Each structure stands twice: as C-alpha cells, then as structure tokens.
Amino acid sequence: MTELAFDVREVSYRYNQVAALNGLSMQVKRGERVALLGANGSGKSTLLRLLAGLCFPEHGEITFLGESLTEQRLQDEEFFFGFRRRVGLVFQNADVQLFSPSVFDELAFGPLQLRWPAPKIRERVGEVLRAMDIAHLQDRAPHRLSGGEKKRVALASVLVLDPEVLLLDEPSGALDPSSQARIVDFLVSCANGSKTVIIATHDLDTLEDIADRCYVFANGRVAGEGTPLEILHNVELLERAKLIRPHAHVHGEGVVQPHPHVHRHEGS
Amino acid sequence: MLRETMHIPDGYLSPSTCVSLAAAAAPFWYVALKRVKSAFDARLIPLISLFAAFSFVIMMFNLPLPGGTTGHAVGMGVASIVLGPWASILAISIALTIQAVFFGDGGITAIGANCFNMAIAGSLVGYATYRLVAWRAGLGSARRVVAAGLAGYTAINVAALCAAIEFGIQPLLFHDASGAPLYAPYPLRIAIPAMMLGHLTLAGLAELVISSGMVAYLQRTDPGLLRLTAPDAPVSDDRSLTVAARTVAARTVAVRQMPTARKLWLALAALLILTPLGILAVGSAWGEWSARDFSDPQMRREIAAASRNHAPPPAAPRGLERLSSIWTAPLSRYAPSFIRGAAFGYLVSAMVGVGVIIVLALLLNWVLARLPAAAGRRRRKSFVEKTARGLLEATGHALFAEDMAATSGFLQRLDPRVKLAGIGALIVAAVAVHRLWVLAGILALGIVLAVVSHIPIRLLTARVWLAVLAFTGVIALPAVFLTPGAPVWRLPLLEWPVTQQGLRSAGFLILRAETAATLAMLLILTTLWTRLLRAVRYFRAPVVVVAILGMTYRYMFLFLATARDMFESRESRIVGVLQPGDRRRLAAASAGVLLGKTLQVSGEVHMAMQARGFRGEIRLLDELQMRPNDWLRLAAFVGAATLAVWLGR
C-alpha cells in the first residue's frame, strides 16, 4: 500500500470573512503528481499555502505523512526544520519568492536557514545552478532577470533543498513557450515517483504530461477528480469549474456553430 | 531642491556634530528594533524592508502643490500613521541610508543627523500629532484626514527645525583662525528663518498633501490599515464603515481646499517681514551686528571675542549704514518718529537683504538647473509625466551604477571592504580638515581615482560637480556678504562688503560638499550593492540591518517599476489638463495603491521566507576573506586620509 503524503479532511479557510476553502477533502499519495485545476480564486493557492504549513485551517485537519499539521506542531524546531526540508513551495509570483540581493544568495537562503555547513551550501548551490542551467546568472540581482529566468531561479531556490514534496503554484503561468517547455520537461522528469508534486494550474494543454491525477476545484470545494484524460473529457465538469467556456468559432470552411470543447493534440 | 534641503549633505556639519547626532539616534534605533521585533516578530524583516522601499519610492513622487510648483515628501507622516512611530523610525532610517549610500542624496557622514531629524524626530512628532488631533474619532472620520495632514506638516517642520539648529550652531562652534566658519556658515538667527521659510510653505505642504491624501484614500479602500494607530476609534461594522468612509472622504477632499497661490505669497511676505524682526528681537548675536555696534567700543570687544580675536573693521561696513539711511531718508519729514529710527531702517534693509538673497538664490538655481540640459526643447510637463520620468531616471541611475561597477577599473577591482573603509576614511578626512588646500588635494585624489577607474569626467561634472554647485553654491553665496570680517571688495551700488572670512567660509562649504560627493559617487559607481552589503556585514553590522538593507534595495526596483507603470498608464488615459485638486488626489491614490501592494507583498515575502526555513532569525553567508594585498591597499587609503587630517588640522 502506498503511503499518503497529504491527507486533507474537511478543511475550511477564510480570508477576512470571505471563504476561500469550504469543507475541502483530498488525498495525495507519495510519489504521485497531482494537478489542482480551477479558475482564478477557486482556492488552489490557498490550499498550497495550507499544505506548506504557512496558514492553518479554521476547521478540518491536514496531515503530512500521518502527522497533523498545526501551528503548535510547527513551533517545534525539529519538526519545523524537518518539514521545511521535505516540503518546498514555489510561489506564483516569482517577485515574492526572490527576496535576496543575488541569485546565489537566493539559492543559499534555504540551506542557511536550515543551518547547513557553509562548504556544503556552496557545493549544493553550485550543483543546482548548473543543473537548472542558471550558473551564468549567479551574481545577477533579481531585478535584472527576465520573467522566465525568475521562474527558474524560484524553482531552483526550492530544489536546492531537494524536497520530497514540491508544491508549485502556476509554474508555467505567463511564460514564453521555451521557458514553459523547460518547466514541463522538469515535471515530466518527476514522473518516476522520485518526488511528490502538487501543481496548481489552469493550463489544460500540458495536463497529461505533468500530472498523474487531477482535482478540479470550484468554490473552495472539490468538484471532480480523475486522471487527466477523464477530466479533459468531462466537458460538463470543466464548464462548471469555469475552466472552459462554450464559444463559437469556425472549423475549416464550415458553418459557425457554438459548441464547447477542449483543444488537445494527440500523440504529444 | 526643496527635498535636498532636508537631506543634509556631507560638509555642512562638523564631524563631532555628526558623531553626536548618530549617538543620539542610536538609543532610538535600539528601542525601535526591540519594540518592532516584539510587535511584528518574524514579520519584522520583510515588513520594514518593504516599507522602506515604499518610502523611498514615495520620496520620488512629484507632488503638485498650490501655486503651480511641485515638491517631494519624506513620508514619515504616512509611515508613522500606518506602522506606528517605532516601525516608522526604522523604515525611514533605512530609506534615508539607501538614498545616501546609493543615490548620493544626503551625506554619508550626515546619515546619523538626517535619520535623527527626519526618521526619529519626524516620526515621533508626526505620530503624536496624529494621535492627539484624531483622538477617538472613527476610522472613517474627516477628522483623521485633517489629523494626518497636520501630522505630516508638523513632522517635516520639526525635522527642518532640528536641521536648522544643527546648521545654526556650526559657526558658533567651528571656525578657523581668521574667524571664517568651517561648516554651515549661518548662525541660528539666519539658519532657522531660512530653513523654516521653505518648510512652513512648500515642503510642509507636500507632506500635508501626501499624508492627508493617503489617509483619505485608505478610509475609502482599506480602513483596517488605520486600525494599528487608532486603538481608541469606535469599532463599527467594516462594510458599512467603508461606505461611510467613502462619502466622508469625498466630502472632505471637496471642502478642504488648499490655500491658493495668493495666500501662499502673502504667507511668504509675512515671513519676509518676520525674519528680520526675529533678528532684531534677539539683539546682537554673532553675525548680526547692526551698524551702530561697530562704533561702540564695548560691542567691538564682544565682536572681536566672538570672531576669535580678529579685530573687526574700524568702521561699520559702509553698505549697512547706507542701506539703513536710504530707507529712512525719504520718510523722515512726515513719518512718525519710530519709523525714522535706525531700528526701522535696519529692519527694512534686512528685509530687502533677505529678499535679494532669496531672489539671487532662485535665479542661480534656475540658471544652473538649465545648464546641463540646455539642448532640446523644453515644454511644460505634467506632474504625472514628471513623476514617471523621475522614477525611470532613478531606476536608470541605479542600473547604470551597476553596469559601471561591472566594468574593470582600479576601484572596481578593489575588495569592497577596502573600498568602503578607504573611501569612507577619505570622506571623513574631507569633512574634518581645516585647510582649503588640503581639501583641494583630497578632491584631486578623488579625480585621479575616477580616472584610473574609467569613470567619465563628464558624468562627474554633470551629476556631481554642477549639481552640488547648484545646491551648495546657492546656500554658500550669501555667506560671502553675511560673514563678518575684513572686507576685500564691495558690491557696486549696494556697497555690501565681501569679506575675506565670507569667501573662505563659502569656499570650505562648497569644496567640502564637492569632495565628499565626488568620493561618495566613486563608491556608488564602482561597487555592486550585493558586494557592498557583504562588506558592511564584515564590519559587524547587525545581520538584521544587513538583511533589511538588501531586501529594501531589491524591492525598491519592484516598486519603482510598479509606480512607473501606474503613472504611465494614467498618463495615457488623461485627456486635457487636470485640476490641481484632482492631481493631488491622483498622487495620493497612487501612493495608496502602492501602500496596499507594499503590505500585500510584505506578507507574501514573509511566507516565502518561512517556506524555506526562516523562523525570524536570519542567517547570511559571510564569504569575504581579506588577503595581504587588501590590507596593504586599505593601509594606503587610511594613510592618505590620516595624512590629510594631520596636514589640514
């Protein structure tokens, strides 16, 4: 039996009186790649922050590897460092994640806080810089990076700790096709079960490559669950979650005919 | 220019004054750090950093003021209203430090003084004013808008008063053997009215506009942000409050009209009259002898003592005597007796004198401001455009400095610690020496360093030498006439004496400011901020401070870009000319949007830090190692600085 990485049970969370999550339940197994689908404001980012132990649910419970994730539990230094080492979150807004003066400092930040010895930090940071193909940027200040470079550095700043669980908030949002392909390639490389990956996205095009299983969110609740193919064929569900919209367009030289559908390219 | 009068440059204050003020600021910083840490805990670093970056960007805003002028605000009113006084002290101090170290705005040796005046005195007074005036008014009440405006106005004026007092005590305490003041040349009776004139009118209004405008904006959009410094305000339903706040704010902005240009000029005239009255009221202090004093043997002894036993000229400066009589002469027949008295004559001549000096200063400033940019057609720019341009320029300057620092040259190759300590020592020497030729020697050394570091002299000319001349030159010019001493030449017609002491004093001020600014610019243009931070860390600066400085600089760019986008998109949508009130509201609303973004980003940055193991105690990698060669170079710098101080003692 595969162990559960995260077990989310009946979780509710509010931002200033506005409900973001509304009795949401879901499970993620170790080594699984799960996509969270949903329109803007459907609670994906909130859930990722709860999973990363940055906010805590008002009702319900979240467990990580069987251990309950609460504010008190994270006060414990040993558990805190252990958890941070194993769970990494890449924020949607790279500007928020890149707060250090240079790329090198950015990558060194996590290991430094986790009190790794300095020589080990230098070695590991160098390794990740090369692996992510950003070694030439190491002395660059964040305001001197392009959007795609920022995303790569943000991802690298989390990968430097080699976490077992990666939480990604729209990793390929607003990127050019080549930068997007790099991120997708990386996610494909995680398919062997080496990492548990949870990705919040509303990009349906790459779904089959990056995820083994999907949850569809609507109004702070799970509206549907299944493999990427099952979800992509459930037009009614996608429409309800506002991920697609019936629209009119022309096929070939045919008539204009309103019909909902999902664009996919077979065999990719 | 108005903004820069608040930012005391290097060379205006003696080293001992700078040290005393930094020492006076230290306990406030300590308490502020303690208090803020217990109030915000782990959020301290991102919150202060982001707010400092916000203050920095706010200082770049070109605020439309009554009378068609624009001004800059420091933002301590806003900061103390939203964050409370202690966090405001930290945020404004950091913003001022970055301005001094990275943009050459305000002296490096004067950081302590500037922080004391603006960050500490300004924040505390601004906060006290706001709390007192707002009292227990509701979060959405008009009273809070008025309180915020007053808070900003008093905060900047108290800061200006502190600066004026610091300037004013310089000539009393520091002059050379001939009696020529070594630093700021004007005594209290001139320094205080001269500083307050600009701040009670224009600069004060800039602060008033931004503080009241921001609070009015927050009342409409996010009144919860005002709760921190309004614990006594009645608690009401948030939703209804927002609606109520909206109507109230709209009404207040309409009712609370700014004084018109005419009123402003009236106030200026009143100050012109009051200035010499103040001088008269205090009697004869150093620097303000009346014509009669020069013939009174008792007074002559006092003047001599005050001028370090330099005998005053045997007769009163002829100009002063003549001016006094010019104004009383035509009136003598018909006027009541008091008008014919010498006191009235002196009063009027002093008024004219102050007026002439102000006009001269404005003229010189106008001419110099147009010198480097003589080419190209000038047209009147809207404040939106000006602000957008200013923001773009600030980013441009910073990026240019980074590019410059990446090239290879003598200073660029130098270890950052050697550079920081070495150039710092030279700046201190430039501020400490008492001989003009030694000062000229340090400036020459600076130019040599610029040449071997491939820094274009044209750049130094435009960005340092002319800019400093335009500012310090204007301030130093009247000292040529106002400093008592041996006359070497007389101005035709007015017969104002140009004194030898006055010339020396103006020379000291200008040369010191030029030298220190040149050296500071060398440091800025040849050092990457990241390397500078590591150097600061090496010198045992608290890790929290280094982390905040780094983060402030980083988000400064983000906010500069955000603010620029905001103004540019406004500009593209504005058709026709905005009314002054609309312009002020627009500036305040932009600042408000930026504030919202500041707080949101600071919250998210804190989460991003937590997610990677941050628990409130930051750790940095110290990786610089000093090599023997570095020590040698450092010794050379420190040796040169010590030699200069010894030669120029």
Task: Give φ, ψ of A168 to 5 degrees.
Answer: -120, 125
Q: How far is CA A49 from the centre of its chain?
A: 10
Q: Are A111 and A156 in contact (CB under 8 A)?
A: no
Choose among B553, B611, B620: nearest Cβ to A54.
B611
Query: pLDDT over 70 for what percent of chain A?
Result: 91
Q: HEC string of A80-105?
A: HHHHHHHEEEECCCHHHHCCCCCHHH
State which amino acid sits at residue B262: R
Coil, helix or strand at residue A172 = coil
Q: In this predicted structure, what is the pLDDT of residue A167?
A: 93
Count of H-run helices and E-run strands, chain B? 28, 4
Q: What is the DSSP string of B559-619?
A: HHHHHHHHHHHHHHH--SPPPHHHHHHHHHHHHHHHHHHHHHHHHHHHHHHHHTT--S---
A46 interfaces chain B, CB cutoff of 8 Å? no
Closest residue in chain A to residue B604, using alpha carbons only: A96
Alpha helices in chain A (DSSP H): 44-51, 71-75, 77-86, 94-97, 103-113, 118-131, 147-159, 177-189, 207-210, 228-233, 235-240
The residue type found at B441 is G
Cα distances from B512 to residues B9, B473, B485, B501, B506, in angstroms, run 10, 12, 22, 16, 10
Question: Which residues of chain B lie closer than 8 angstroms to A54, CB-CB?
Answer: 607, 610-611
For residue B303, what are its two tokens? 């003047």
Coil, strand or helix at A155: helix
Complex ipTM over 0.90: no
Is the separation of the CB atoms in B85 and B124 below 8 Å?
Answer: yes
pLDDT at B122: 92
Q: Judge contact between B502 and B479, C-beta under 8 A.
A: yes
Hey, how many other C-beta atoms are within 10 angstroms of the C-beta on A198? 27
Instruction: Determine how β-strand A257-259 pairs with β-strand A247-249.
Output: antiparallel
Residues A157/A107, Cβ–Cβ less than 8 Å: yes
pLDDT grade for A268, boundaries at 50, 70 and 90: very low
What gap in Å lies between CA B581 and CA B609, rounded to an integer?
42
The alpha carbon of B122 is separated from its chain's Cα centroid by a whole number of angstroms, namely: 12
Measured distance CA(B63)–CA(B70) in Å, rounded = 5
* Contact assessment for residue A140 and residue A75, using Cβ atoms and an 8 Å cutoff: no
Nearest to A99 among B528, B608, B623 (CB): B608
For chain B positions 364-383, those within 8 Å of chain A (CB to CB) are none
Please give the residue of chain A at the shortest CA–CA distance from B547.
A100
| Chain A, nearest residue to B555 by Cα | A99
B217, containing H or E segment: helix B204-221
Residue B428 near residue B13, CB atoms below 8 Å: no
* Phi and psi, residue B253, nearest 5°: -60, -35
Under a CB-based contact definition with an 8 Å cutoff, are residues B457 and B546 in contact?
no
Pairwise pLDDT comparison (A202 vs A112), residue with the higher score? A112
Please compute the mean of the pLDDT values over residues A195-199 and round it to a whole number: 91
Question: What does residue A12 show for φ and ψ, rounded to 5 degrees?
Answer: -120, 145
End-to-end CA distance of chain B: 32
d(CA B350, CA B141): 46
Hey, are the CB atoms on A101 and B619 less than 8 Å from each other? no
Residue of A nearest to B224 (CA): A16
Give residue A213's pLDDT: 92
B612 touches chain A (CB under 8 A): yes
Percentage helix, strand, coil, to 5, in chain B? 75, 0, 25
Q: Give A20-63 pLDDT, tens digit per residue.
A: 888 889 999 998 999 999 888 788 889 999 999 998 998 999 99
For residue B25, what pLDDT is reported? 93
Evaluate whether B538 touches B612 at the Cβ level (below 8 Å). Answer: no
Determine if residue A98 is left, alpha or beta; phi over 0 gives left, psi from -120 to 50 gives alpha, anything else beta.
beta
Q: Which residues in chain B touch residue A77, judged by CB atoms under 8 angstroms apart?
A: 615
What does B6-71 look like in DSSP terms, one character per residue? HSPPTTSS-HHHHHHHHHHHHHHHHHHHHHHHHHHGGGHHHHHHHHHHHHHHHTT--EE-GGG-EE
Q: Which B residues 62-121 touch A at CB under 8 Å?
A: none
| Alpha helix segments (H runs only) across B59-122 | 76-83, 85-103, 111-114
| Residues B56, B390 contacting (CB under 8 angstroms) | no
Q: How big is chain A, counted in residues?
A: 268
3-state secondary structure of A69: coil
Interchain contact A5–B (C-beta under 8 A): no
- Tokens 């030729």: give the residue: B437
Q: Do A96 and B609 touch (CB under 8 A)?
A: no
Answer yes or no: are the C-beta atoms of A89 and A46 closer than 8 Å: no
User: In chain A, what residues touch B46 (CB-CB under 8 Å)?
Assistant: 99
Q: Could you tell me if A21 lies within 8 Å of chain B, comparing CB atoms?
A: no
Q: Does A220 touch chain B (CB under 8 A)?
A: no
Instruction: With CB atoms and an 8 Å threshold, state whether A85 touches B613.
Output: yes
pLDDT digits (tens, 9 = 90+) for A223-240: 889 998 888 888 888 888
Angle at B158 between CA B156 and CA B162, to 5 degrees: 115
Please tell me which residue of chain B has the smallest CA distance to A108: B621
The single-letter DSSP state of residue B308 is T
The SS3 assignment for B298 reads: helix
Q: Give the DSSP H or E segment for B234.
A: none
Pseudo-torsion of CA A64, A69, A73, A75, nearest 10°? 110
- Nearby residues of B307 by Cβ (< 8 Å), 6 or more positions away: B175, B179, B286, B484, B485, B501
A88 touches B: beta carbon within 8 Å: yes
Residue in A96, A106, A125, A138 to test binding to B, most B beta-carbons within 10 Å: A96
Running along chain B, 649 residues long, what does each successive block of 10 average in pLDDT? 63 90 92 81 81 85 68 84 89 89 83 93 92 85 90 91 89 82 83 79 82 87 79 58 40 36 49 47 36 48 47 43 44 46 55 60 59 46 76 82 83 86 91 89 92 88 83 79 78 75 87 91 85 81 84 87 84 71 80 85 88 81 75 88 86
Which pLDDT value is given to residue A153? 92
